[in-house]
Amino acid sequence: MGNSSEKNIPVSKNYQENVDYLNKELGVPDSFDIVFREMSVGGKKIAIYSVNGMVDTKVVSHILEALIDLERADLIVNALQKLLKGRIVTLQVSEVETMDKILYFILSGPMAIFVEGQDKAIIVDTRTYPARQPQEPDIERVTRGSRDGFTETLVMNTVLIRRRLRDPKLRMKLIQVGGRSKTDVCICYIEDITNLDMVRKITQDIQGIKIDGIPMAEKSVEEFILGSKVYNPFPRVRYTERPDVAAIHLLEGHVVVLVDTSPSVMIAPATYWHHVQHAEEYRQEPVVGVYLRWVRFLGIFASIFLLPLWLAAALNPQLLPEWLQFIGVSKPGKIGLLPQILMAELGVDLLRMAAIHTPSPLATALGLIATFMVGDVAIKVGLFSPEIIMYIAIAAVGSFATPSYELAQANRLVRLFLIILTGLFNFIGFFAGVAIIFFLLVRTKSFGIPYLWPLIPLDLKALGTILVRAPVPIKSKRPKALKPQDADRQPNS
């Protein structure tokens, strides 16, 4: 599944051979967006290739004026390159000798110039991408803090990180992925902080990706470098659309992977606890941050365990002490509790998916339908018990309070797994399911880092920073799991 064109074909001194080859590969004139312009300067032919909409027209006009002013003696690659650099100082001008690189540059946005009799092409970076302005991500909002977020343009995303980390040791390594798409993938890390062995491993894995293209961007990259384990729903990398979150992870020794065309960046490695922290906790006073973190922990716990525990208690009311006798079903529905819960769970997921695809003007109508026509009427006709609707709602709120969308999805599957085992085997099924999930978490690793670290293996000092949002001046050490030899270095040194 590689590129259909041959690789490493050198540029020929025969001008027409070069033109014929590129016209065939680029589909000129069939592809209307490929701009091919020929002109004669000083008695020599010049061919210019670019993609319509990806070049700055003002800069192109300056380049054409520079070409028209040339004399025949200046029409050699070195002289032409110096002239263009002198005319427009902001341009990046380089020489390329092979056709595969020329095709890559043309389709990436820069302009390619061929001069008759020369065995090199000049690449002039005149690209300008259609891009939206950085906006606050919808799923990572904060009450106070920066309102910028990553966009679909790779260069803009790297600038947003550079703006926060003016460190000369910050590295941005560019790799092309996809035999046909040639998608730009950037590996970002701080050289003297990050474990370079991990950087090399990630780089080699990404370079080893063999596929036509990665239309799903960073998710496709993740599945290639980590493998897709069907039985394990837990995310082993963290995604974020906030530049400040990416920057703080870089200071902690993580690697950030950016993929062109995607506003989400991938942070590696990531433990379970990275997915339960939110930027909002660090935008408030430490004591407020601790409170918010524990409320969030409570919501995540409720989203996983509350409904299965209630089901076990409702199925075995004789096992409950007197002060818990209120737990259960006051008015049993017309079908069993387990089918009711499964139907309600699927209904909530269906409404969530419908909300994603519903236009904003119709969102209110969808909410009314869900509240009255589905929930209220279903209770009145006896399809659902009121208690089930209440506990389903609490679990849904807990899922929405989970900072990581990927972890919330994994927790939803865990909850369904526990519900089914509990409905079939009561409390024994519940505890067996918890043991299975715990064993899975213990076995899971992210780039060699245990998923439950610092709980397993136990690191009390690091665990304290997870449980309590410490003031920033106190939190001055990097995680040992990322790079033990640098654990005592100051993050902001």
pLDDT at 80: 64
pLDDT at 335: 81
Confidence of residue 89 (pLDDT cuts 50, 70, 90): low
pLDDT at 372: 59
Give dist(CA 33, CA 31) in Å, integer.
6
pLDDT at 91: 73
What token pair was written down for 167?
A: 């460190």
Per residue in 366-412, pLDDT tens? 666 666 556 666 777 777 788 888 898 899 999 989 999 999 999 99
Give dist(CA 339, CA 332) in Å, integer.
12
Least confident of 48-62, 78-92, 189-203, 417-431: 78-92
pLDDT at 474: 62
pLDDT at 117: 85
What token pair was written down for 373?
A: 């026509």
What token pair was written down for 82?
A: 């110096």
Indicate the average pLDDT of the chain.
84
pLDDT at 417: 96
In the chain, pLDDT over 90 holds for what percent of residues? 41
pTM: 0.83
Give the mean pLDDT of 148-173: 92
**Cα 334 versus chain centre, distance:** 45
Give the mean pLDDT of 172-200: 92
Per residue in 120-141, pLDDT tens? 888 888 888 777 788 888 888 8
